Amino acid sequence: MALLTVETGSPTLRMTTTISIISPVDSGNMSGGTLYLLHGAGDNASTWHRMTTIEQYASQYGCTVIMPQVNRSYYTDMEYGLDYFHYVTHELPELCGRMMRLDDNPQKTYIAGLSMGGYGALKCGLTYPERYSKVVSLSGVTDLQKRLNDPQMSKDMAREMAGTFGKRLRIKPDQDLYALVAKLVDDKRNLPSILACCGSEDPFVEMNREFAAYLETTPYEFQYVETSGTHEWRFWEEHLKTTFDFLYN
């Protein structure tokens, strides 16, 4: 396996950013396609590789793993900031496709993430369902408006969120996972298969249960896995196996 750290200037972000890439290029097995793996709000492009056994799974399945850095943007074109959603969904795959000679077959393209990145993965898959065959959210923020309305949110966090979503902390339809699903249902469009996992002691478990119940009313293929665990790396490492079983079985 090859581990690459790419420092590159981004026209979208108008600054240098980091991409971590795990590639099976030296193993002779590159049949596993591409997984875009998104980090959480307190993490960066290196965290998945530092905190989990992702490289072992990439080797086992012959999968190229692309891990971008988006800071605390919620994978959003920010109200008062940078266009991170456009970067992740347009510039990143174009750049990595050229650089790594990736197969852009949607049937071999996946996206997953944890916490903020779980929201990001779902948002990408629901906005551009034709690009991915499977989507995974681990402990994801599945109801963003509820997250923004959290009465326990600190003043510092509220100020940060205002920079992303506006001073009123109201999300737009294209940031609302429920609205994105409803639009796909109304338009009778296909949707990638979705897996969501959450710990039973996780602060986001109720919103994950509600999102699972909603998706079960739709015609789409959806799985929800809830086991004991909190919002931490031991749970995400455990369900990295769940993720790859879902992606490749």
Per residue in 89-146, pLDDT (tens digit) is 999 999 999 999 998 899 999 999 999 999 999 999 999 999 999 999 999 999 999 9
Range with the lowest mean pLDDT among 3-7, 10-14, 102-106, 178-182? 102-106
**CA distances in angstroms from 134 to 88, 112, 151, listed in the order given:** 17, 8, 34
Residue 82 · residue 100 · CB < 8 Å = no
Give the per-residue pLDDT at 234. Answer: 98
- Interatomic CA distance for residues 171 and 45, integer angstroms: 26
What is the average per-residue pLDDT within 83-93? 98
Element spanning 241, H or E: helix 233-248
Give the per-residue pLDDT at 103. Answer: 87
Give the per-residue pLDDT at 30. Answer: 75
What is the average per-residue pLDDT within 221-232? 98
Residue 196 · residue 225 · CB < 8 Å = yes
Chain-centre distance for alpha carbon 211 = 16
Residue (of 32, 248, 38, 33) closest to 137 by Cα position: 38
At residue 183, does pLDDT exceed 80?
A: yes
Structure token digits, residue 40? 């959480």
At residue 248, does pLDDT exceed 90?
A: yes
The domain 2-144+174-248: what is its CATH number? 3.40.50.1820
